[in-house]
Amino acid sequence: MYFKILNLYPRDENSLVLSFPMVMLHKKVYNPLTKSYDWDKKPQKTEVLQNTLNPVFEKMFSIDYVFSEKLELKFLVVDVHGYEYLEDSEDHDFLGSVEITLDEIVYEKKPVTLPLKYGSFQNLGVIKIAPFAKKLHDKIDLTLAFHAILEKPIFNKINTFFTIHRSNLLDKNFELLHESDVISKCFKPVSPNLELNLANVLKEADSEEDCLLKFEVFQQKLVGNAEFMGCFQTTLNELITNKGRALEFELINERKRVAKSGNKSGVVSSYKNSGIFNVSCIKYDQYTSFFDYVYNGLKLNAGFAIDLRINGKIIKKRIKVKN
């Protein structure tokens, strides 16, 4: 699970310094001493973000899902006074909490938005919980090739590399997923087969359709930084649904596209693209667990039969069956 909080109530309205928020997760576990269920004393914690009322936390909480058990969760949002108090939650300012079961989060199949509560106080902000199921065993193999269209003819072949970024579900920003090695002196570079683990690709994305991937191609200069050549975007779902087939994408450099247009409206007259990126072979190995069936809405119909015979003889005594 990943977390985002919107419109968090400040600890001091008159202070120029905003909150230093952190989220803590408590699970209700069985206590053999009291023979009852109590909140655990060692919660999971996110990182502390500084001076913000709309935090987006990077650290996730991992919880094992057990189909036959009901797991109650409590999310506490606190304002941290200092990093020296991280181990003791009593030294923090309480900003609000939410209680929910893991089943309710799984049932939604999408980010859950809940209001923070603190007694009778309202308008304390909302917490957005983005769950995702780790596909630990799934992987996708890609064979990649691309070539660039250069503005000026050159005699020396170029050094190129590419990067792959994935979008975050909560804030829609891109983060680096993979950076290739530099492919030296080649007009049409072919990358070695790339294997991506879906546990890293999907991360907090709810499904393959939500997982947006951005491919960027660069020319490695002998002196200075790399020069951006072009990029394209696709989804993980598009790659998976086209397994066994080749895909072709245009590399677009937005700066060159606008510069070559004859007017401010951005209508292109001469610029077409900066190259072609080919995904020539896609192989997807999928491992399906019982949780995948439950998470995607599997419905079970069960039938039961009772054998009322002992050694082949029918029992005459009535048996009451409780539902």
Amino acid letter, residue 206: D
Global pTM? 0.55
Check whether domain 139-285 has CATH 3.30.70.20, yes or no: no
Return the domain boundaries, the chain.
2-130, 139-285
Question: Are the CB atoms for 160 and 189 separated by under 8 Å?
Answer: yes
* Average pLDDT of the segment spanning 33-45: 88
CA distance 126 to 8: 7
- Structure tokens that stand for 123 in this block: 């308008």
Give pLDDT, residue 85: 47
Q: What is the CATH code for 2-130?
A: 2.60.40.150
Q: What per-residue confidence (pLDDT) applies to 126? A: 93
For the stretch 156-187, pLDDT in tens is 567 888 899 988 766 678 888 889 888 776 66
pLDDT digits (tens, 9 = 90+) for 48-93: 998 899 998 888 888 888 878 889 999 999 988 765 445 555 668 8
CATH topology agreement for domains 2-130 and 139-285? yes
Specify which residues 2 forms β-bridges with. Answer: 130
